Amino acid sequence: MRESLVNRDVVAQTDSPREYEIMPHVSLVSIGGRSIFDRGRSALMPIVDELAATRKKHPIVVGVGGGTRVRHTASIALDLGLPTGGIAQLIGAMEECNAVFLNALLAKHGSIQMPRDHFWELSMYIDNGMIPIVISVPPYHFWEPPPEVGVLPAHGSDFGLFMLAEVLGMKKIIFVKDQDGLFDRDPARHEGARHIEKATLAELKADMPPEVILDELLFSAWENARHVKRIQIVNGLTPGALTRALDGEDVGTVLTKESAS
């Protein structure tokens, strides 16, 4: 009881296979900012319809990114010389705009925009059949750690939602982008890029593509994670892809923490 929590021996004794899973029955769905929201009505409304149609079948939390608006804001913040923590605050504010938009579109189906950091309210929303909408940027705010290079926050939207899912004990995350998942090269710039249909975390890290559609920091964090078992990337521009992923089908790219065997 008198030992410090920075003592390595004490920390080692706290490891336990009995870590409690708070919301293991809930899936996290991430709607890309630049890839989906910035495309407007034609890209977003079909996804809204899919979310509305599946909400009673699958308990979900929906995360939103900020898209190009975040990049414009960060550019101004850099020009003004704002510190990393200040930029992180602004990025979260920009993502809240897309959360408001999505909430307006889903309101008649029972959605609610969760205030920042009110994570303990999620179970109340879900138990009442609602679709909680959260922002993606991790809530470090002014406490965002200084990055190794430059001043832009190192913890992006994909990483933030991964951490939300991991802390709450969720087992599955679905990232809705504008591509069919991961490729060995950027398919928008390289004709003949090979689609990666399935891979374990170890396989992916052993042969990481030079360009990936998710934050690379996410994969480093996943190595030590205890709860998230499956990450799926689907093309939101393909009708029904999100619904199929929620139903458990292997569409897009399926990444697993460990081998199925």
The pLDDT tens digits of the residues spanning 141-189 come to: 899 999 988 999 999 899 999 999 999 999 999 999 999 999 998 888 8
From residue 19, how far is each of 24, 166, 257 by CA, in Å? 12, 11, 17
Q: Which helix (H) or strand (E) holds 134?
A: strand 131-135
For residue 31, the cross-strand partners are 64, 176
- Nearest to residue 61, comparing CAs of 99, 90, 89? 99
Taking the CA of residue 160 as centre, how many other CA atoms within 13 Å lie in the half-sphere pointing to its CB? 28
CB 137 within 8 A of CB 88: yes
pLDDT of residue 261 exceeding 60: no
Q: What is the pLDDT of residues 179-230, one digit of tens each?
A: 999 999 888 888 888 999 999 999 999 989 888 899 989 999 999 999 999 9
Q: Are strands 27-31 and 60-64 parallel, antiparallel or unpaired?
A: parallel
**Inter-helix orientation angle 84-106/68-80, to 10°:** 160
CB 257 within 8 A of CB 200: yes
CA distance 14 to 254: 32
Tokens encoding 136 = 């993606």
CB 59 within 8 A of CB 165: no
CA distance 223 to 258: 10
CA distance 219 to 118: 26
Q: Determine the residue type at 56.
A: K
Q: Which helix (H) or strand (E) holds 53?
A: helix 41-54
Q: What is the pLDDT of residues 45-79, one digit of tens each?
A: 999 999 999 988 999 999 999 988 888 999 999 99
Angle of CA points 32, 93, 27, to nearest 5°: 40
CATH number assigned to the domain with residue range 25-66+96-140+155-256, chosen from the 4 options 3.40.309.10, 3.30.70.20, 3.40.1160.10, 1.20.120.430: 3.40.1160.10
Q: Is 17 exposed, middle or buried (0-12, 13-18, 19+ CB in 10 A)?
A: exposed
Angle of CA points 91, 94, 100, to nearest 5°: 140
258 — pLDDT class (breaks 50, 70, 90) = confident
**pLDDT, mean over the chain:** 91
Residue position matching structure tokens 């602004």? 90
